[in-house]
Amino acid sequence: MPETQEPVIVLAGSVHSSYLTLQALIRHRMRVAGVLGLAAAQSANVSGYTRMDALAREAGIPYAEFADLNAPAIVEQVRRWVPDAFFIVGLSQMVKKELLSIPRLGCVGFHPTCLPEGRGRAPVAWMAFEGRSGASTFFKMTERADAGPILVQEPFPVTDADYSADVERKLEAALTIALDRWLPKLKRGEWQAVPQDESKATYYGKRSPEDGAIRWERPAVEIQALVRAASHPYPGAFTFFEGRKLIVWRAAVEKDLPFRGVMGRIVHNDKSKGPLVQTGEGLLWLTEVELVNTADGEFPKLRIGSRLGCAPEAEPYALPGRVQALEARIAELEKSFPRKKT
């Protein structure tokens, strides 16, 4: 049943989508009682961390920082603001029952998929990996993640050419459209939440930086999908070159050139496209790479025949040479620093 009172709102968040939500609340002259921002000290593992303090204070809105949204002091602060709706946008922390029970209408969550499809973790990376379209979705939060009834949903397209940064730009544009559609209704006191169809629910699992490791025995199209998913703002898909980590930020599948080589070896080089690598099925251009931990900007050249990745099976062949080099170095040191006779 529609409400008649213009609601009091509190917002908590930590990323750019949180910032865009605050902008929309201000733009629509909503009654925002307070803003909670994740403390910078807690932001190490937050991709796209964004502060909202300056925007909040410019609009005359009280601002406070938190490390744990469920901490007693934060819960008490939310109670003092007496919100009708508590927006929690761009925050990976689970919201406990005590906090969920405070706002009169409920807590409003955000998820960038076509809920009930794609509940769970790392949705942006998964959508880039799959080339699956999404939707900027605001919903009433429950104790089950991403399972509450939907308040507004704005679809956006994702293709198999989109990287994670492209997906983020699209979801943010759709987020603004969704809020511009819904906030005027909320301001009038309307609150209509449509239950999700549980029979259509699907789930995404957690992704970690180590999941970006490239396995060259996989098909080129699959490796390129991994590169798209792990690219900015995430840590990047990676392999190894001469013992150092090589991040692949962008890549392109080659469909026409008649090259064939050993998996993980560079078979061709192009000044504009970069090195061409043989995969388990097809060829892949590495169009943007970064070698980690280079000294003075030194970047060993990726040459035709260079092998990328780790090859444990080759270690026994390299070991004798390394032992000989080590013994030679020890002999040199013994000449320079002869041992004292006892």
Question: Do 200 and 218 belong together in one domain?
Answer: no
Question: Do 179 and 219 belong together in one domain?
Answer: no
Q: What pLDDT does 179 receive?
A: 98
CA distance 142 to 3: 20
Question: Do 52 and 84 belong together in one domain?
Answer: yes
| Residue 132 within a domain | yes
Helix (H, G, I), strand (E, B) or coil at 152: strand
| Residue 222 within a domain | yes
Detail the DSSP E strand segments found in 39-121: 63-66, 85-89, 106-111, 119-120
Question: Do 234 and 198 belong together in one domain?
Answer: no
| Residue 325 within a domain | no
Question: Do 75 and 152 belong together in one domain?
Answer: yes
Give the domain extent around 255: 209-311
Question: Do 12 and 121 belong together in one domain?
Answer: yes
pTM for this model (two decimals): 0.85
Q: What is the full per-residue pLDDT of the chain (342 aa) written as tens digits? A: 444 579 999 999 999 999 999 999 999 999 999 999 999 999 988 888 999 999 999 999 999 999 999 999 999 999 999 999 999 999 988 899 999 999 999 999 999 999 999 999 999 999 999 999 999 999 999 999 999 999 999 999 999 999 999 999 999 999 999 999 999 999 999 999 999 999 999 999 999 999 999 999 999 999 999 999 999 999 999 999 988 899 999 999 999 999 999 999 999 999 999 999 999 999 999 999 998 876 555 666 889 999 999 755 445 545 566 677 788 888 888 777 776 665
Per-residue CA distances from 208 to 120, 121, 205, 211 (Å): 14, 10, 10, 5
Question: Do 237 and 113 belong together in one domain?
Answer: no
**pLDDT tens, position by position, 134-180:** 999 999 999 999 999 999 999 999 999 999 999 999 999 999 999 99
3-state SS, 2-44, equals: CCCCCCEEEEEECEHHHHHHHHHHHHCCCEEEEEEEECHHHCC
Q: What pLDDT does 46 receive?
A: 86
Residue 280: CATH number of its domain:
3.10.25.10
Residue 53: CATH number of its domain:
3.40.50.170
| Residue 297 within a domain | yes
Q: Mention every residue, 6+ apart, whose C-beta is less than 8 A from residue 186.
A: 7, 30, 85
Cβ atoms of 108 and 139 within 8 Å: the answer is yes
Question: Do 15 and 146 belong together in one domain?
Answer: yes
Q: What pLDDT does 321 receive?
A: 63
Please give the tally of structural domains in the chain: 2
Question: Do 233 and 163 belong together in one domain?
Answer: no
Q: What pLDDT does 326 receive?
A: 81
Q: What are phi and psi of 232, to 5 degrees?
A: -45, 135
Q: What pLDDT does 318 receive?
A: 52
Question: Do 89 and 225 belong together in one domain?
Answer: no
Question: Do 256 and 121 belong together in one domain?
Answer: no
